[in-house]
Amino acid sequence: MPHVAAPLRIGPIELWPPMVLAPMSGVTNRTLRALYKPFGFGLTVTEFVSSNALQYGNRRTMEMIDQHGVEKPVATQLWGNDPALMAHAAKVVRECGADIVDINFGCPAPKVTKTEGGSACLRDVVHCEAIMRAVVAAVDCPVTVKMRLGWNEGTLVYEEVAKRAQAVGIAALTLHARTAKQFYKGNADWSHIAALKRAVEIPVIGNGDLSDPQGAMNRMRESGVDGIMLGRAILGNPWLAGQIRALMEGREPEATPPAAERLRFALHHYRTMVDEWGEARAVPQMRKHLGYYLKGFRGASELRERLMRTETAAETLGIVETTIERLERENDGMIAA
C-alpha cells in the first residue's frame, strides 16, 4: 500500500519513518534506544548532555553519548549557554559518532534553567542565535534545535528563534507546544506547531501529547509537519511507535499486546540493562521503567509497590515472571469459559 507520509530529510540524511524518539534524561540511554528503535523510529536522540561536562570527559558523561550502532542514525542533544563551549561539545560528540547534533532550547528543569541553559535560553533570542551559529560552524553534520514556545505565555518567541535558526543553517526544528513555565501541565497547543511550519522552509517536527496512533496522525496531517517526536507516551509502550508506523505506511495497526506479552518484553529490557550496566546500576534505573510497563492491567498498582522495594535483579525478575504466569492462567481460563 502507498505510504501516507513522506520520509523526513534532515540535511543529507533521509529518515523513515518520520518519527523521532525524544531525548529524555535518565531514560534514553543506548540500551533503550537500541530496544525501541526497531518498533518504528527513524531517528533516536540521546539523553541531553551538558556542554560544560563534556569538556572534562568523565566516564558517566561519555556513557550518555555512547552508542550501540544498531540505533543509528543518532542525534546527540547538547545543552548549555556558552557558544564556545557548545561548539566544542558539538565537535566532541561528532567525533564520538553523532550523526546529528541537536541543541536543547526546551528543557524546563530547574537544574538546567538555573544555569541559563535549556528553555532559559529562549529569554534571549540574540544569544540563541549566537549559540546556533557557533554549533553549525563547528561540525560537518546537520544541526537541529528542539525548543518550546517561549519562557512563558507573554514571551512566545518560537517563530523568531526559528527564523534565526534557518538563517544560520539549522537543518530542522522540533517544537514542543508548551512554554517552559508550563512544564508538562495543560495541553500542548498544536496550533503553534502549525504556525511554525508555515513560518519556515526547513523541516519542522511536532512534539507534545502524542499518545495514540490515530491522534498522532491527525495532528501530523492537520499541522503539516514533516515528522513527529514521541516522548513520555512511548515509555513502557514502544508498540505505539509500531502502530503509528503502520498508519504512515497505509496499513491497519496491530493491537497493543496483552499484559503478559508486554511484561515479557519488560523482562527482556530488564535483563539487557543488567547485562550492559551491571546489577547495581540497572536495578534502581529499571524501577521506573517497570512502572511504565505495568500501566493498564488489574493489580498493577500493588505490583508496582512491591517492585519499588526490590533490591536484587533475581527478586525483581521472580516477581515479574510469577505475574506473567498468573496473567496467562487467567487468560487461558477466560478463553476456556
| Contact indicator for 160, 125 with CB cutoff of 8 Å | yes
**Strand pairing report for 13-15 and 100-105:** unpaired
- Cα dihedral 199, 202, 203, 206 sign: negative
**3-state secondary structure (DSSP) of residue 205:** strand
| Contact indicator for 240, 233 with CB cutoff of 8 Å | yes
Catalytic residue among 96, 107, 121, 141: 107
- How far CA 187 is from CA of 4, 6, 20, in Å, comes to 26, 27, 20
* Residue 38, C-beta contacts closer than 8 angstroms, at least 6 positions apart: none
Bridge partner residues of 104 (DSSP):
146
Three cell numbers, residue 324: 506473567
Which helix (H) or strand (E) element contains residue 145?
strand 143-148
Q: What are phi and psi of 298, to 5 degrees?
A: -60, 135
- Is residue 107 part of the annotated active site? The answer reads yes
Kindly list the catalytic residues. Answer: 107
